[in-house]
């Protein structure tokens, strides 16, 4: 049948088919519509699809990077089927899928869904990348030992990474329990509240120098101020702005090797379409910084 009569299938950024085939693609988009341990407003299971659909509205030339990141090849995978009965089993499923993709030479971009998926993605990377550190952009500490009956809750993500022995540096923190704050102090965990980050006066070198050469980036979208990102289940006032987030990511990409990343917690029905567009543009920008721009991995 004549293909000109039909819209192309939905793929990230609606890129030309020659750049979207799995075999040729350097980057794969892994959608994970998982939402089983959430404690705020629901809806992030719809996040991956919303990000991909919003990305089809983007122009493919990135004015700031002065390149077209899609030319490295971006393939959009089918959604990972959730394992709703056991959060640990879901983490293990994600670790297995991401590991297979890494072994195939792909740069993996994982789209959530809830933040719990990060544990599986980071574990897959740590098995293959020595001296990996994690840059976490998040409004919440996520350092609980367990929450709502499981240690694999979205509120426990960074605690699981620390227990795995993975160094974590957090930026954007502005909400924590007393116990989490005491853990940060006792272990002298590196973190930057929004005010502490802004005190760097636009020079994020102190953050960058705290990371290893190989970095995994995890972004919970509630790191943004609700004026720019309302579509999250647990919004917090006083967050970072777009230019601050992408400026930090650019600084990291200049001096370190970003080996993978995820973007999580978009609940598209809780905010305007512009929120999904922000998430999509963030994914595309980070692909450009990590892979497509000069010096990218």
| pTM exceeds 0.85 for this model | yes
Rounded CA gap, 252 and 157, in Å?
22
Q: Which residue has the higher pLDDT, 40 or 207?
A: 207
Is the pLDDT at 172 greater than 80? The verdict is: yes
Arithmetic mean of pLDDT, 61-77 = 97
Residue whose token pair is 């089809």: 56
Task: Write the DSSP assignment of 187-233 as a string of letters.
Answer: HT--EEEHHHHHTTTT-THHHHTTS-SEEEEEEEGGGB-TTT---SS
pLDDT digits (tens, 9 = 90+) for 246-289: 999 999 999 999 999 999 999 999 999 999 999 999 999 999 99
Q: Please tell me the least confidently modeled range out of 35-44, 116-125, 184-193, 235-244.
A: 35-44
Domains and CATH numbers, the chain: 3-292 (3.40.800.10)
Rounded CA gap, 264 and 238, in Å?
19
The H or E element that residue 276 is part of is helix 273-287
Arithmetic mean of pLDDT, 201-216 = 96
Is the pLDDT at 230 greater than 90? The verdict is: yes
Q: What pLDDT score was predicted for residue 273?
A: 97
> What percentage of the chain has pLDDT greater than the value 70?
97
Is the pLDDT at 242 greater than 90? The verdict is: yes
């Amino acid at each position: 049948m004549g293909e000109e009569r039909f819209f192309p299938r939905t793929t990230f950024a609606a890129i030309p088919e020659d750049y979207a085939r799995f075999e040729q693609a350097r980057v794969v988009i892994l959608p994970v519509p998982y939402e089983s341990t959430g404690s705020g407003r629901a809806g992030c299971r719809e996040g991956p699809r919303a990000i991909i659909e919003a990305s089809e509205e983007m122009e493919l030339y990135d004015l700031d990077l002065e390149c077209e990141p899609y030319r490295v090849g971006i393939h959009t995978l089918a959604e990972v089927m959730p394992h709703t009965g056991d959060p640990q089993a879901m983490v293990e499923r994600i670790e297995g899928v991401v590991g297979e993709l890494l072994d195939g030479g792909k740069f993996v971009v994982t789209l959530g869904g809830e933040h719990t998926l990060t544990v599986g993605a980071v574990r897959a990377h740590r098995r293959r990348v020595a001296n990996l550190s994690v840059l976490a952009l998040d409004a919440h500490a996520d350092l609980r030992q367990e929450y709502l009956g499981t240690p694999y809750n979205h509120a426990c993500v960074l605690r699981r990474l620390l227990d795995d022995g993975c160094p974590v540096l957090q930026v954007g923190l502005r909400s924590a329990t007393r116990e989490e704050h005491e853990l940060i102090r006792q272990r002298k965990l590196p973190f930057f509240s929004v005010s502490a980050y802004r005190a760097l006066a636009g020079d994020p070198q102190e953050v960058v120098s705290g990371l290893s050469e190989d970095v995994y980036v995890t972004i919970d979208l509630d790191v943004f101020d609700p004026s720019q990102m309302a579509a999250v289940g647990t919004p917090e006032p006083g967050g970072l702005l777009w230019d601050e987030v992408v400026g930090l990511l650019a600084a990291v990409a200049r001096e370190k090797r970003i080996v993978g990343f995820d973007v999580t917690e978009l609940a598209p029905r809780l905010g305007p379409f512009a929120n999904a567009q922000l998430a999509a543009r963030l994914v595309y920008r980070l692909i450009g910084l990590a892979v497509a721009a000069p010096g990218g991995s």
